[in-house]
Structure 1
Amino acid sequence: MNKRALVIGLFIAVLASVISQALLHGQKAIATDAALYIPYFLSPLFSLLIQATSMLAWAVPGLYVGYSCKNKPVQHAAIVGAAYAAILGAGVFAMQSSKLIDTDSMLVFAVSSLTQMAKYSVLFALSAPAGYFLATHRANL
């Protein structure tokens, strides 16, 4: 197990998430103001930029883990994705714990957290092979 790739990948995931959220906040503010002054046919450009920015949180860490792992990059990326989602889930649970007063809301939150873990594991694992192939291509040069 490549622990260095896991730890740095987790750090990169958190950092990319913070940067992605900041960029999304700025883009949405610009898009609401720009909607008044730009032609209508350019509006898909702003939605495309928002979608690309939201992919930053899982594409960049997955690429890094795939790039830095020589063995089993997909498995390592899935582990980093699950750990990242667990950290996000713990943070959200800490912020929303006062609102979770009954068992139904706690169960909904637990299922949501497990779903996020599965989602980020798959997304990180899907982007890891691209990083791995980039590393092998650079090694062959």
Structure 2
Amino acid sequence: MNKRVLALGLFIAVLASAISQALLHGQKAIATDVVLHTPYFLSPIFSMLIQATSMLAWAVPGLYVGYSCKNKPVQHGAIVGAAYAVILGADVFAMQSSKLIDTDSLLVLAVFALTEIAKYSVLFALVAPAGYLLATNRANL
């Protein structure tokens, strides 16, 4: 295990997530103006921009982890993704804890956290080999 890659990957994931959320908030603020003042046939470009911005939170850290790893990029990507999801789940749990009134809402929140861990582990693990291939191709030049 490369602990430096794991720590920096987690830092980059949190940073990319904050940047992504800020960009999405800005895009949401101008969405009504874009819809009103652009032709209808250009609306898929704006929706594609929103999708690309939301992918920033897992694509950039996954690429970094894969690029920085000398071996086992998939394993490192999955670990960083799981750690990021645990931080995200803890954040959501802390923000929603005052609204929990029964066991069912607690179970829904716990299932959400578990699915986020699985989702981000898979996404980071899928992107990490691309970063690894980029690093090996660059080393061969």
Q: Normalising by structure 2, what TM-score?
A: 0.98
Q: Per-residue CA shift, 1:38-78, capped at 9, x if unaligned? A: 11111111000000000000000000000000110000000
Larger mean Cα displacement after TM superposition, 94-103 or 111-120: 94-103
Structure 2, unpaired ranges of 5+: none
Q: Match of 1:64, SS? A: helix
- Deviation at residue 122 of structure 1 after TM alignment: 0.3
Code of the residue aligned with 2:64 in structure 1: it is: Y
> Aligned residue for 1:31?
31
Q: Distance in 1 between matches of 2:85 and 2:40?
A: 37
> Aligned residue for 1:42?
42
> Aligned residue for 2:95?
95
Q: Say what the alpha-carbon RMSD is for the aligned residues.
A: 0.7
- Deviation at residue 35 of structure 1 after TM alignment: 1.1
Structure 1, unpaired ranges of 5+: none
Q: Distance in 2 between matches of 1:18 and 1:32?
A: 23
Moved over 2 A (4+): none
> Aligned residue for 1:138?
138
Q: Distance in 1 between matches of 2:31 and 2:95?
A: 29
Task: Within 5 Å, give how 1:7-86 maps onto structure 2.
Answer: 7-86=7-86
Q: Percent identity?
A: 84
Code of the residue aligned with 1:86 in structure 2: it is: V
Task: Within 5 Å, give how 1:93-132 maps onto structure 2.
Answer: 93-132=93-132
Code of the residue aligned with 2:29 in structure 1: it is: A
Q: Distance in 1 between matches of 2:133 and 2:36?
A: 44
Q: Match of 1:101, SS? A: coil
